[in-house]
Structure 1
Amino acid sequence: MEIEYRIGMVLEGKVTGIQPYGAFVELDENTQGLIHISECHHGFVDDIQKYLKVGQKVRVMIIDIDEYTKKISLSVRCLEKPFDFSQPKHTRYHHKKYWTNRHVYEGFTPIAKNLDHWVNEALEDIAEGK
């Protein structure tokens, strides 16, 4: 009896082979599919063998079926809990780094004190043609 496979079906299969680009999974005696390396885990995967091993039973979702070649594309990633960006990351509290002493409250006072002097110097330089 041959099962009629459809996109979205969740099945259990057995990994029968691993290549650098993905893993082959036997779905039944006559049917196998491929888990592309990008579909084996959320995030960047540099080595698929860190996640899948030959002989391993794996739950997969059918994400595509090529109607001409009948090749089945599978995903483990679709069944994983997606990363929740709304949750705060566990990070250490970082103190703000100040480039000056935070206890000095000068602000713009030095500029205000010297502004008239700087304007007069600039006007004298203009008058002298510098």
Structure 2
Amino acid sequence: MSIEVGSKLQGKVTGITNFGAFVELPEGKTGLVHISEVADNYVKDINDHLKVGDQVEVKVLNVEKDGKIGLSIKKAKEREGGEGEQQRYGQGRPQRGNRPNNRPNNRDRNDRGPVKETFEQKMSRFLKDSEDRLTSLKRNTESKRGGRGARRG
């Protein structure tokens, strides 16, 4: 059985580091489960979740050209049918309620659909925003250093 992206496999934890766990897969290959892929919640210490020798079910996230294999334990536990992520986020989160949405929604005033913006318009908007931020940053840092013409001595 070859190791393909998306497949679920059984493996054995062979090593633990501060950034993840190494899992031995069938055919003697080894992959890495990053600490962010161990559990659905925040993992401060991976040793609280895994120990060397544990048998785990993992899902193959990626196989790089140099042979590195990225694995996930939390994605292997998700339900089939693609509703796992929606279901997971839908349960524990509070509903938005009647809060107003303050973010721009890329729609024109008549709600006829998304506004088409050309690359040039996007680039122009980006440059203007960037210059505004840079000006604000310079103004704040110069006042803290005493301005441009301050004497040193």
Task: Quickly name the TM-score band, shorter chain normalised.
Answer: 0.5 to 0.7
Distance 1:52 1:34 in 2: 13
TM-score by length of 2: 0.51
Distance 1:37 1:56 in 2: 16
From 69, 87, 98, give the equivalent of 2:91: 87
Q: 1:50 to 1:4 in 2, by over 3 A?
A: same
Preserved contact between residue 11 and residue 59 of structure 1 (Cα < 8 Å): yes
Amino acid at match of 1:78: K
The structure carrying a bigger helix percent of its residues is 2
Q: 1:10 to 1:85 in 2, by over 3 A?
A: closer
What is the aligned partner in structure 2 of residue 121 from structure 1? Answer: none
What is the aligned partner in structure 2 of residue 105 from structure 1? Answer: none
The structure carrying a bigger strand percent of its residues is 1
Decide which structure has the larger Cα Rg and report it: 1
Higher relative contact order, structure no. (Cα contacts within 8 Å, ≥ 6 residues apart): 1
- Pairing 1:74–2:71 present: yes
**What percentage of aligned pairs have identical amino acids?**
41
Gaps of 5+ in 1: 90-130
Structure 1 residue 77, shift from structure 2 partner: 1.0
Q: CA RMSD in A?
A: 2.1
Structure 1 residue 72, shift from structure 2 partner: 0.4
What is the aligned partner in structure 2 of residue 39 from structure 1? Answer: 37
Preserved contact between residue 60 and residue 74 of structure 1 (Cα < 8 Å): yes
1:34 counterpart SS class: strand
What is the aligned partner in structure 2 of residue 118 from structure 1? Answer: none
